[in-house]
C-alpha cells in the first residue's frame, strides 16, 4: 500500500480513537511538506480542532504520536501550529524505487472489461481546407485527453466527425468549377486537401470583388453580401446537394476524396487516429428527424417563413435556428443526429466534445435541446472547451489564406530539429534513416509538448523557435533527458555488469535522490488528478519537474564512478524508474522519447 494511503487510514483511525470523530479516507487531505520545513507529508488539523476541543498544537501532537506508533514507515513528525508534518523512512522510499524500477506500466491503469466507454470527439475538420495550427491543438488535445483517460483506467473510444457538407463545402466546389480548369492533385502535384483549400480562398477573393461591385452601385454592405451572385449560386448548390442532384453529388464525392487522402497523410504525421469516423452527410437526416420529433412534442416551433427554431429564453438564452426556411440544416441539426447515433453505437458513460471555446454557446444549447427531446443521457454531454492558438502576428483566417498549414509547420520543425542536432554534433554514429526518425520525433515532441503544456482553457501564443529549444520547459529537453538516462543504463549494464533485475539492499538517500523518488511516488495521483481535470498540461508540467529533478540529481552524483556496488545498483535502478516515468507520461501526451540522441 502506498504510504499516502496508509497515512490517511491511520489519521482516520486516530481521529476516531482519540476524539470520537467519524470521517472518511477521502476527506483526509495530504499535502507535500513545504521545503522550509522538515517532513514529507503534511496534514492540516484545524478542521478537527472544534470537535476535539483542544488547541491546534495539541491535536497535531496527539495525532502525530498516534500515527507514528501505527505506521512503521513514519520515523518522525513535527508540529508547526496546526500543521502536522510526517517524515518517512529512507527504507520506504528505497523499497518503493525498487518496486517500480522495471515496471514498464507504472502510473498507467488498465480499463475494466465491460465498462461503458467514454467517447471523445476531436478533429472535426471541414472538407473545404487542409488542417492548420488550430486543428493541431484540437487533435493533440483530443488524442492526449483520450490517452489520459485510458491511463486512468477508462474505456475510451476516439471519434471524428467530418463536416463534409454545407455552404462552406459548396464554396470550394463552386470555385473549382468556375476557376479550376479541371485541376487535380495529380496534375498540380498538390495534396488534395491543399488543392481544395486553394479554391476556398479563391471563392472568397471573387466573392469580395462582387460585394465591392454591388456596394459601388449603391447597395448596402449587408445586402451586397446576401445578393452577391457567387453566394446565391453556392446556396443553390447546397439545396441541389440536399435534393440529391447527381452532378453536384459526384463533384462533392470527388473533391471530398481528395481531401480525405490529404487528411490521412497529416493525421499519420501527427500520430493521431480514431476508432470511428462519422460524416455529417450521414447524420444530418437523423438530425432532421429529431427536429420533426421536437415539432411534434411542441419543444420546437416553426416560423412563418418555414424555418424551425427552439425558444431557449426560459433558460436565459435566445432562440436557436435548427432548420433554415429552405429546409436545409445547420450545424445544430447534424449534431443532434450525431449525438443520438453515437449514444446508440457506444452506450457511452460520457460524450466529450473537444471543440474551441467559440462554440461554448453551441454545446450549451445542444445539451438543453437533447434534454428537452427526452434523452436522459443529455447530461453525459461535456464540452471540453479550449482556447485558440494565436501567432505573434495575430489570428489566422482560413478564407483569406492566412493560416499556418499543419503539414508545412511539421516540415519546418523537422528542419529546425535537424539544424539544431547538427549544431550539437552528437549524432555522427546514426544512419540517415535513424536521423530522419530522430528529427521527426524531436519536431513532434517540441510541437506537442509546447501546445499541451498550456492549460486547455487558455488562449496560447505559438512560438516554433521557443518550442524546440533543448533547454527549459520543452519537449526536446525531456526527450534528451530520457536519452541521457538510457545511455547511463546501457553503460552500467555493459561496463559495470549491473542488472536491472537485481533489487538493491538498503542505502542512504541524499536530498536530491529523495526528491526524485518522491516525484515518482506522486505519478499515479497526478494521472488521476489530470484525468479528472481533462488537463494534459498537468502531465506535461509534472514530467518537466521530474526531468529537471533528475538532471539536478545527475549533476551532483557520479553514478558510474560510485565505488559501492550496492549503491551504484540503486542509482541505476532509480535511473530506470525515471526513464519509465518519463516514457509513460510522455506517451500520454502522444510523444515518443528516443533511446539515444
Task: Give pLDDT tens digits for 19-59.
Answer: 999 999 999 999 999 989 999 999 999 999 999 999 999 99
Pair 63, 14: CB distance under 8 Å: yes
How many Å separate Cα 345 from the centre of its chain?
Answer: 24
Residue 327 phi, psi dihedral angles, 5° rounding: 90, -5
Q: Which residues pair with 240 in a beta bridge?
A: none
- Whole-model pTM? 0.91
Residue 538 has pLDDT above 90, yes or no: yes
- Spell out the domains of the chain, with CATH numbers in brackets: 3-88 (3.30.1360.70), 122-400 (3.40.50.620), 406-588 (1.10.730.10)
51 CB-near residues (< 8 Å, 6+ apart)? 19, 20, 21
Q: What mean pLDDT, rounded, does the chain reach?
A: 93
Pair 360, 385: CB distance under 8 Å: yes
In the structure grid, which three cell numbers stand for residue 512, read together? 536530491
In the structure grid, which three cell numbers stand for residue 105, read together? 506500466
What pLDDT does residue 392 have?
66
Task: Tell me the per-residue pLDDT of 194-251, one tens digit each, with 9 for 90 and over.
Answer: 999 999 999 999 999 999 999 999 999 999 999 999 999 999 999 999 899 999 999 9
558 CB-near residues (< 8 Å, 6+ apart)? none
Q: How confident is the model at residue 404 (pLDDT cuts 50, 70, 90)?
A: confident
Residue 398 has pLDDT above 80, yes or no: no
- Bigger pLDDT: 399 or 427? 427
Task: Tell me the per-residue pLDDT of 165-189, one tens digit each, with 9 for 90 and over.
Answer: 889 999 999 999 999 999 999 999 9
Q: Which of 579, 574, 583 is nearest to 503 (CA)?
A: 574
282 CB-near residues (< 8 Å, 6+ apart)? none
Count of CB atoms situated within 10 Å of the CB of 211: 21
Please give the radius of gyration of the chain, using alpha carbons only, rounded to the nearest integer. Answer: 29
Whole-angstrom distance, CA of residue 417 vs CA of residue 413: 6
What pLDDT does residue 503 have?
84
In the structure grid, which three cell numbers stand for residue 428, read together? 555522427
Residue 250: HSE in the Cβ half-sphere, 13 Å Cα cutoff: 4
Helices (H), 71-126: 90-100
Pair 89, 75: CB distance under 8 Å: yes
Count of CB atoms situated within 10 Å of the CB of 158: 23
186 CB-near residues (< 8 Å, 6+ apart)? none
Q: Which of 376, 373, 351 is nearest to 363 (CA)?
A: 351
Share of the chain above pLDDT 90, in %: 83
Residue 306 backbone class (left: φ over 0; alpha: ψ -120 to 50; beta: rest): left
Amino acid at each position: 500500500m502506498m504510504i499516502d494511503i496508509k497515512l490517511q487510514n491511520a489519521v482516520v483511525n486516530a481521529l476516531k480513537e482519540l476524539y470520537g470523530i467519524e470521517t472518511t479516507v477521502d476527506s483526509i487531505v495530504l499535502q507535500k511538506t513545504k521545503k522550509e520545513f522538515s517532513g514529507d507529508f503534511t496534514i492540516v488539523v484545524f478542521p478537527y480542532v472544534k470537535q476535539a476541543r483542544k488547541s491546534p498544537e495539541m491535536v497535531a501532537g496527539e495525532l502525530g504520536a498516534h500515527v507514528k506508533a501505527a505506521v512503521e514507515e513514519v520515523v518522525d513528525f513535527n508540529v508547526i501550529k496546526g500543521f502536522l508534518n510526517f517524515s518517512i523512512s529512507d527504507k520506504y522510499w528505497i523499497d518503493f524505487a525498487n518496486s517500480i524500477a522495471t515496471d514498464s506500466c507504472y502510473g498507467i491503469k488498465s480499463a475494466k472489461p465491460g465498462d461503458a466507454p467514454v467517447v471523445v470527439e476531436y478533429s472535426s475538420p471541414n472538407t473545404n481546407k487542409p488542417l492548420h495550427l488550430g486543428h493541431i491543438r484540437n487533435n493533440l488535445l483530443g488524442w492526449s485527453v483520450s490517452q489520459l483517460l485510458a491511463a486512468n483506467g477508462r474505456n475510451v473510444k476516439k471519434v471524428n466527425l467530418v463536416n463534409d457538407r454545407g455552404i462552406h463545402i459548396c464554396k470550394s466546389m463552386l470555385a473549382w468549377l468556375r476557376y479550376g480548369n479541371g485541376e487535380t492533385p495529380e496534375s498540380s502535384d498538390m495534396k488534395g486537401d491543399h488543392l481544395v483549400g486553394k479554391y476556398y480562398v479563391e471563392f472568397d477573393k471573387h466573392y469580395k470583388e462582387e460585394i465591392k461591385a454591388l456596394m459601388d452601385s449603391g447597395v448596402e454592405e449587408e445586402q451586397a453580401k446576401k445578393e452577391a451572385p457567387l453566394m446565391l449560386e453556392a446556396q443553390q448548390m447546397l439545396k441541389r446537394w440536399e435534393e440529391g442532384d447527381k452532378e453536384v453529388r459526384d463533384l462533392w464525392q470527388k473533391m471530398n476524396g481528395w481531401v480525405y487522402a490529404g487528411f490521412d497523410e497529416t493525421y499519420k504525421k501527427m500520430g493521431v487516429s480514431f476508432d470511428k469516423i462519422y460524416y455529417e452527410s450521414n447524420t444530418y437526416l437523423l438530425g432532421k428527424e429529431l427536429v420533426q420529433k421536437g415539432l411534434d412534442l411542441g419543444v420546437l416551433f416553426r416560423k412563418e417563413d418555414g424555418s424551425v427554431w427552439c425558444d431557449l429564453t426560459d433558460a436565459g438564452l435566445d432562440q436557436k435556428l435548427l432548420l433554415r426556411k429552405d429546409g436545409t440544416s445547420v450545424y445544430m441539426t447534424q449534431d443532434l443526429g450525431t449525438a443520438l447515433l453515437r449514444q446508440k453505437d457506444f452506450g457511452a458513460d460520457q460524450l466529450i466534445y473537444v471543440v474551441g471555446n467559440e462554440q461554448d454557446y453551441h454545446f450549451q444549447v445542444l445539451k438543453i435541446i437533447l434534454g428537452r427531446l427526452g434523452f436522459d443521457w443529455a447530461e453525459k454531454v461535456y464540452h471540453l472547451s479550449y482556447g485558440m492558438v494565436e501567432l505573434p502576428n495575430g489570428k489566422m483566417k482560413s478564407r483569406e489564406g492566412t493560416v499556418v498549414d499543419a503539414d508545412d509547420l511539421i516540415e519546418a520543425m523537422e528542419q529546425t530539429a535537424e539544424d539544431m542536432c547538427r549544431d550539437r554534433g552528437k549524432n555522427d554514429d546514426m544512419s540517415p534513416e535513424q536521423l530522419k526518425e530522430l528529427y521527426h520525433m524531436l519536431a513532434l515532441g517540441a510541437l506537442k509538448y509546447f501546445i499541451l503544456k498550456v492549460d486547455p482553457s487558455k488562449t496560447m501564443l505559438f512560438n516554433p523557435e521557443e518550442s524546440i529549444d533543448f533547454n527549459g520547459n520543452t519537449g526536446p529537453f525531456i526527450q534528451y533527458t530520457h536519452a541521457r538516462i538510457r545511455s547511463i543504463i546501457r553503460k552500467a549494464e555493459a561496463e559495470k555488469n549491473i542488472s536491472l533485475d537485481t533489487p538493491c539492499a538498503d542505502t542512504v538517500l541524499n536530498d536530491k535522490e529523495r526528491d526524485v523518488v518522491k516525484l515518482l511516488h506522486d505519478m499515479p495521483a497526478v494521472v488521476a488528478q489530470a484525468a479528472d481535470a481533462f488537463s494534459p498540461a498537468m502531465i506535461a508540467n509534472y514530467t518537466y519537474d521530474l526531468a529537471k529533478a533528475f538532471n539536478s540529481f545527475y549533476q551532483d552524483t557520479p553514478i558510474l564512478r560510485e565505488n559501492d556496488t550496492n549503491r551504484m545498483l540503486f542509482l541505476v535502478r532509480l535511473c530506470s524508474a525515471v526513464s519509465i516515468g518519463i516514457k509513460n507520461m510522455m506517451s500520454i501526451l502522444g510523444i515518443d522519447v528516443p533511446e539515444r540522441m
